[in-house]
Amino acid sequence: MIVDDDSSDSELEGRLSVSPAVTRGGGLKGSSSPTHFVKFKPLELSEPESEEEEDGEHLNLPAEAKGKNRRASEAIAQWRSQRWESVDSFSSDDDQAYESTPLLNKQLYLLVARCIAYPFNSKFQIETAPPKPRLSNESYLKICDVLQSAINTDKTLQQHLILNGNEMKTIVNADFLQTVEWYFTNILSRDDVRIACTSGGFSIKELENIFRVAICRKFRDKFETATGGGGGERSITKKIEGDPKFQIWVCTFVKLIEHGSQSVMSERELRQINKQMSWEKQELYLLFQNILGISKSDHQALFRTCHLNNLEEQEDVVRREIHKRKELLKKGVCSFYWKNQSEQVLGAYFDEMDRRLRELTENLESRSMTSSEYGMREKKKKVTADSTAQTYTNKDFVFHHKVKVTVRDASQIIGVAEGKNIFIVFELEGNNPLATKSVPLNTKHIALFDEGGEFWTNTPLPQISFILKLETQGLLSSEKSLAKKLHTVMPTAVETTDDVELQRNDGTVLTHLRVSTFLERPGNMRKCGYLYCAGDFAFKQWRSRFLALLQMSQFSFAFCHYQPKDTHPREFIVLEGYTVQYLAEEPNGEDLAKYHFTLSSEKGVIKFGCMTSSERDQWVQWLTRATGQTDKPKDKPGNPAAGSIPKSPLAGGDIKAMGIADVVNMDVAELDHPKMFTKLFKSILNYRLKEIDFSRGFFSPGQMYVIDEYCARYCIRLSHRHLTCLWEWLQCELKGQRIWPVMMLHSFGFCQMHVMGQKPQEHSEVVTPEERKQWSQLSGQIELLLAEKLENFREHFPFSCPKDDLKISMKLFTLVAEINHSQESKHNMPLYSEDTPLKLLIAILERAALNNYKKIFAKLWQYEELELDEYSDHLNVDQLYTLAQMCVDFMYELHEFYADDFTLYPLALVAHIDAFWSFFVVDLQECLKEADVSLVSLLKMFYSLNEYFCSQPSLKLSKFHQTLLQQFEPLVDSYLTGLNENIRNDLEQFLQHETWLPVNECCYSMQGCLEALESIKTFVEQLNWPQDPFATSLVTKVQTICADKFEIVVKFTLEQCDLQLKGLLMKNGSILPKPVITMVNTIMFLGAQAASFCGFSQSSSGQVPQEQLSIAVNMTTSLENSVDKMLSSVIQKLCEPFNELLELMSKQDPTASLFSSLRKIVPGQIPTEGYCSYVKTNLQHLSSTLVLAAFNNFVLNWYESQMRLLNQWVRYRPIFSLNPAQQDAIEALLKDIRDLFLEVDLDEEQLETENYGQIEDRLRKERSQAALMGQED
């Protein structure tokens, strides 16, 4: 990192986490404005003051935020302004010459066009998935219109949506439209979402995902209400997404937004986007014409003049460029920029250029040179750095191609009578002979054949033998050869028709045969024909020879001499190190070769002669390509040179007038290709960012294909390429345009590896000191840019859109911060450690928490910006509750949309959340200081906050949650104490005025008490206090309150029952009073509710608190005793008529004085019907007034009491002492009482008690004794 040596520690006091050292005006103490190329001050961390702070237990939050007004410190703004001062772009003054000019654009276009015409380095592939197409501003506005149209439909009916007059075939209901309205109001209408949509921040899929999350939360609330919240988060989400109603809502919403987005783009625009994915040459030409502003006429002039459709010409251009570059490299020629570098850097630069040229040569050699299906096999060779020379032999020149022969007709046939059948036989050596059909000779002595065939040959000059034969008729048919001729076929690219004279043996011409031949030219045979030649070391005699120019490889050509039927050349020379030049016209004796040129090398000179000037120009042009010479040969004045530019065939005349001549004749090797590349990249980027699909700087496959080819072909160093990309992307970001951060991360990582020397030596790129300085500047600016984005990540990445951009931005920030601060650690920064980037990220996100809280607070006041200095009043409880709800909504947004982005940095997310809630604590504490604060409203807010924190495992018992619990522990305890006093006072007051009228299952006072106790119990349960000690104490306190109120009610009820029973006289025909029954119901109901209100609960450790257990046991015992006491008193009062009946039966005892004189008692004199009627009446009365749970227990105890009294009465009398009247009365009572209690749904097993059985046994014995006594009488 570049830092001035005179920079002091005071200049590095700019901190992201604001410290008390920040002055009120926002400036940094001791800071000064940078004046050098760039004074980069890294983000600095405060030194921890204690061990707890190092452990992360103390948040390094702005001190002003914790005060009364929570002012945001201006230190970051001051620090940013200092960081950006005096920052120059790394374009020098020379770059001004590379402003957009017509000549520069045409030169650049020609270079690009050559890359398109003949690519041999790059491959068309997409290694990184491009970002998805984004929504434009027009699409956003159209989607808003569509959603508003849907919202304005009748919500009371399920109907088809009518959008812009067109019916959309989907049925919606009011719930769906309300959800869409909420989505439109709370999401699409947000300023950050609107701004993001105008710059390509959203796609249709991302809008769908946001809607999916919104309705998922809506369905989750209903699901938890219906099922009690059972199941985990994933299982609940899975069930919700499987709900058919959920799927219908999502599909309907997708139809809505697609209806809005598709109606914006025209077919022409969609076609234009699809063309970006194409790499057809014509499409690429048109694309770069639009990028560089080249007219169609200029393109056509360059295309035809430079022969961009001629692959051989383009190969020659590449070879000349490589050859020229190698020559300049050997001579040590370089630009002025590199001459000013040190010897070490210059040597590394030459080594890198040599390696790049070798790579170019290898790539060019790897391309196949055969343009047709058949030809000579290419001989591979290994290219070395020193020479490309290769030794060839005759065996390396082997052909295998096809000859097509067609015999048209034979005319002027002499010596053959009219009507005779003739045919032609033609053959090629090494192939089977072929023949035409026999044809009769017509009156004009012409025979039409139009038949032919194909042969395979290994010679470039095959000779085909044609024989005319006569077919004789007769008993023995025969064939007679009349004439023949050998015809040599030239390897032309077109079919030729020749007149072949067939001769007899004596040499006279018999007929003229018209033959069409086509010899497939081998793909590597560039030029062939007859030339006069002679040289010092080859072709030593001046005569005409058939010569063929063969391309053995991309950099190796051979000039071969063949004769007819030769499969191997007689002589050949390899054209490496040769130079071709024109010679003046020199007629040479009898030959017609008056146009000459030479091939010269260190071995000597070879002279060639042609018949015509055009033929010579063609040979010179091909030989110039083959030799690879950089200087084109020049002819004498008056004759056009082979390499000169002819008149353009375009309408417009001379191409010089069009400004094309200077472009075509430019020396490519002398161009400043790094600056040309900068111009090209900037033009493509600007063009790409203006397109309607919001590519965010990601080039299309066709554009990337041309860029890669350009960089490889013109040796653009990778370090310069990535630095240029970073700089241009940074400028676009500063203009507010969105750039895909994946590209910035890739380029920055590449520069880091090479600048920091992390690449192996053999793979490292040359990085100059100037580029290191540029990279340092870029690092500082990128760090600032990312810091600003992360501080306001909710605005720059609303709802984490575009997807993964926030994650990549944080990853890039940590990488940049690590490099910047690791280099600054060399300049007196002892605080730097391996976790410094993470600490910086945490500090930034703490700052982001303040920004987010300020925006939420501003939204509360319906202001765009928060200016707390204008307000003197604090928030009241209702406003604080609303603010808490807004904060919880923001937390849901944070976890539902941003959680995946923080998977690499979970501590940063925790720090952001803790910092965010710490600002809320300030407002909470200020609100608690108010004297007239509503405790109920505070607890309502606490309930909402605590419910959210408990639902988030990562936030449960976090720092803020614990602070919140500590703040509300005394409030909750005070609230319960107050409720207890109020309930006690109300209960005592109600009991004093109790009328004992039945209310539900108890009395009026107890019903109100139970409702109050139920509200306390529900309040504590819904609090869901997460800390076990206080949670246990809350349950214990509620248990104590309930037990106390139960005890009060039970005691009062027993006292009132005793008073009622004392003044009550029960006899046959009486019924139990209703107040007494109500008291019984109340006591029985309290016993049933005791377990619910006074029961114990297990703690988090699984153990039952001893205090709760003791309260539950004591309350249960007390209620059981009270129930038994009341039942005993009431049943005792009900049994008074039964006791009277037993007294009446006792008067008939044999031992009684009243009946002592009687020997026999007449049965039937004891009245039992009245008592049974009494029992029946009271049973009916009890069944209609007692609650069911109390009724069964009560009547069973009453029945058992009667049986016990009767059994006691029977057992009191001696055996065999009951007279018949008593026996009959007892039997009647047993039967009638049993039947009456069976009618009230008691089981027979319940009635057959022990007392009942003993009575029956006594009666059986008495009846048996009476029967025996009767027999004796």
> What is the dotted CATH code of the domain comprising 962-1134?
1.10.357.50
Pairwise pLDDT comparison (1161 vs 14), residue with the higher score: 1161
Q: Where are the domains of the chain?
A: 1-45+62-88, 94-130+279-367+641-716, 137-263, 400-519, 523-640, 962-1134, 1157-1272
Q: Locate the DSSP E strands across 120-230.
A: 159-163, 166-172
pLDDT band at 1243 (very low <50, low <70, confident <90, very high): confident
Residue 1181 pLDDT > 80, yes or no? Answer: yes
Contacts of 841 (CB under 8 A, 6+ apart): 790, 810, 813, 814, 817, 905, 908
The confidence score (pLDDT) of residue 828 equals 45
The confidence score (pLDDT) of residue 368 equals 62
Is the Cβ–Cβ distance between 499 and 513 less than 8 Å?
yes
Q: What is the C-alpha radius of gyration for the chain, rounded to an integer number of angstroms?
A: 55
Is the Cβ–Cβ distance between 766 and 344 less than 8 Å?
no
The confidence score (pLDDT) of residue 1148 equals 75
**Amino acid, res. 1185:** T
Distance (Å, rounded) from C-alpha 841 to C-alpha 17? Answer: 10
User: Phi/psi class of residue 91: alpha, beta or left (left: φ > 0; alpha: ψ in -120 to 50)?
Assistant: beta
pTM above 0.75, yes or no: no
User: Please, how many CA atoms are within 13 Å of residue 825, restricted to the half-sphere of its CB?
Assistant: 14
Pairwise pLDDT comparison (1088 vs 1238), residue with the higher score: 1238
pLDDT, the chain, mean: 75
1246, 1248, 1252, 1254 alpha-carbon torsion, rounded to 10°: -130
Report the pLDDT averaged over residues 1080-1109.
69
Report the pLDDT averaged over residues 380-388.
41
Tell me the H-state helices in 631-740.
661-664, 673-689, 701-713, 718-734
Pairwise pLDDT comparison (1256 vs 161), residue with the higher score: 1256
Q: Tokens standing for 741?
A: 């951060």
The confidence score (pLDDT) of residue 477 equals 55
Distance (Å, rounded) from C-alpha 277 to C-alpha 267? Answer: 16
- In the chain, the N- to C-terminal Cα span, in Å, equals 138
Distance (Å, rounded) from C-alpha 4 to C-alpha 824? Answer: 11
Angle at 584 between CA 580 and CA 585, to 5 degrees: 120
Give the sign of the dihedral formed by CA 574, CA 576, CA 582, CA 586.
negative
For residue 246, give the nearest of 290, 211, 201 by alpha carbon. Answer: 211
Distance (Å, rounded) from C-alpha 566 to C-alpha 260? Answer: 75
Residue 737 pLDDT > 60, yes or no? Answer: yes
pLDDT band at 658 (very low <50, low <70, confident <90, very high): low
Pairwise pLDDT comparison (822 vs 510), residue with the higher score: 510
Residue 524 pLDDT > 70, yes or no? Answer: yes
| 185 secondary structure, DSSP code | I
The confidence score (pLDDT) of residue 622 equals 86
The confidence score (pLDDT) of residue 651 equals 37
Is the Cβ–Cβ distance between 152 and 228 less than 8 Å?
no
The confidence score (pLDDT) of residue 74 equals 42
Q: Which of 126-130, 395-399, 1008-1012 has the lowest mean pLDDT?
A: 126-130
For residue 254, give the nearest of 357, 333, 320, 183 by alpha carbon. Answer: 183
| 186 secondary structure, DSSP code | I
Helix (H, G, I), strand (E, B) or coil at 803: coil
The confidence score (pLDDT) of residue 185 equals 80
Distance (Å, rounded) from C-alpha 991 to C-alpha 1005? Answer: 6
**Amino acid, res. 1131:** I
pLDDT band at 694 (very low <50, low <70, confident <90, very high): low
The confidence score (pLDDT) of residue 72 equals 34
- Residue 828's CB is within 10 A of a number of other CB atoms, namely 10
Domain 400-519 has CATH 3.40.50.300: no
The confidence score (pLDDT) of residue 27 equals 30
The confidence score (pLDDT) of residue 97 equals 40
Is the Cβ–Cβ distance between 957 and 1027 less than 8 Å?
yes
The confidence score (pLDDT) of residue 70 equals 37
Is the Cβ–Cβ distance between 330 and 357 less than 8 Å?
no
Q: Residues, the chain, total?
A: 1273
Instruction: Read off φ and ψ for residue 655, nearest 5 degrees.
Output: -75, -15
Residue 369 pLDDT > 70, yes or no? Answer: no
Distance (Å, rounded) from C-alpha 6 to C-alpha 35? Answer: 12
- Tens digits of residue pLDDT in 939-995: 888 888 888 888 888 788 888 888 888 888 888 888 888 888 888 888 888 888 888
pLDDT band at 757 (very low <50, low <70, confident <90, very high): low
Distance (Å, rounded) from C-alpha 1213 to C-alpha 1258? Answer: 11
Distance (Å, rounded) from C-alpha 762 to C-alpha 757? Answer: 11
Q: Tokens standing for 1091?
A: 């377990």
Residues forming beta bridges with residue 608, ordered by sequence position? 533, 597
Contacts of 505 (CB under 8 A, 6+ apart): none
Pairwise pLDDT comparison (848 vs 265), residue with the higher score: 848
Distance (Å, rounded) from C-alpha 278 to C-alpha 284? Answer: 8
The confidence score (pLDDT) of residue 58 equals 35
Residue 44 pLDDT > 70, yes or no? Answer: no
- Residue 846's CB is within 10 A of a number of other CB atoms, namely 25
3-state helix, strand, coil in the chain (%, to 5): 55, 10, 35
> Counting beta carbons within 10 angstroms of the beta carbon of residue 228, is it exposed (0 to 12), middle (13 to 18) or buried (19 or more)?
exposed
Integer CA distances (angstroms), 133 to 206, 288, 691, 694, 1100, in order = 11, 22, 11, 7, 52
The confidence score (pLDDT) of residue 330 equals 81
Integer CA distances (angstroms), 206 to 200, 219, 257, 803, in order = 12, 20, 11, 8
| 868 secondary structure, DSSP code | G
Q: Which residue has the tokens 């200081």?
A: 929
pLDDT band at 649 (very low <50, low <70, confident <90, very high): very low
The confidence score (pLDDT) of residue 63 equals 41
- Residue 1208's CB is within 10 A of a number of other CB atoms, namely 11
Distance (Å, rounded) from C-alpha 1001 to C-alpha 1183? Answer: 13
- Tens digits of residue pLDDT in 300-352: 888 888 888 888 788 888 888 888 888 888 887 777 567 677 777 888 888 88
For residue 172, give the nearest of 164, 182, 162 by alpha carbon. Answer: 162
pLDDT band at 650 (very low <50, low <70, confident <90, very high): very low
Residue 898 pLDDT > 60, yes or no? Answer: yes
- Residue 75's CB is within 10 A of a number of other CB atoms, namely 23
Is the Cβ–Cβ distance between 943 and 1023 less than 8 Å?
yes
Distance (Å, rounded) from C-alpha 399 to C-alpha 403? Answer: 12
Architecture of domain 523-640: Roll (2.30)
Q: Tokens standing for 645?
A: 């530019």
Report the pLDDT averaged over residues 480-506.
83
Is the Cβ–Cβ distance between 847 and 792 less than 8 Å?
no
Q: Which residue has the tokens 């000064």?
A: 32
Is the Cβ–Cβ distance between 187 and 140 less than 8 Å?
no
Q: Which of 221-235, 495-509, 1211-1225 has the lowest mean pLDDT?
A: 221-235
The confidence score (pLDDT) of residue 590 equals 56
Helix (H, G, I), strand (E, B) or coil at 504: coil
For residue 691, give the nearest of 1114, 244, 275, 1181 by alpha carbon. Answer: 275
The confidence score (pLDDT) of residue 1240 equals 84
Is the Cβ–Cβ distance between 1189 and 1088 less than 8 Å?
yes
Helix (H, G, I), strand (E, B) or coil at 118: coil
Beta strands at 439-440 and 434-435: parallel, antiparallel or unpaired: unpaired
839, 845, 846, 847 alpha-carbon torsion, rounded to 10°: 120
Distance (Å, rounded) from C-alpha 286 to C-alpha 693? Answer: 19
Pairwise pLDDT comparison (792 vs 416), residue with the higher score: 792
**Amino acid, res. 430:** G
- Tens digits of residue pLDDT in 1124-1172: 888 888 888 888 888 888 888 888 776 554 444 444 444 446 778 888 8
The confidence score (pLDDT) of residue 646 equals 41
- Tens digits of residue pLDDT in 1058-1089: 888 887 888 888 888 888 888 888 888 887 77
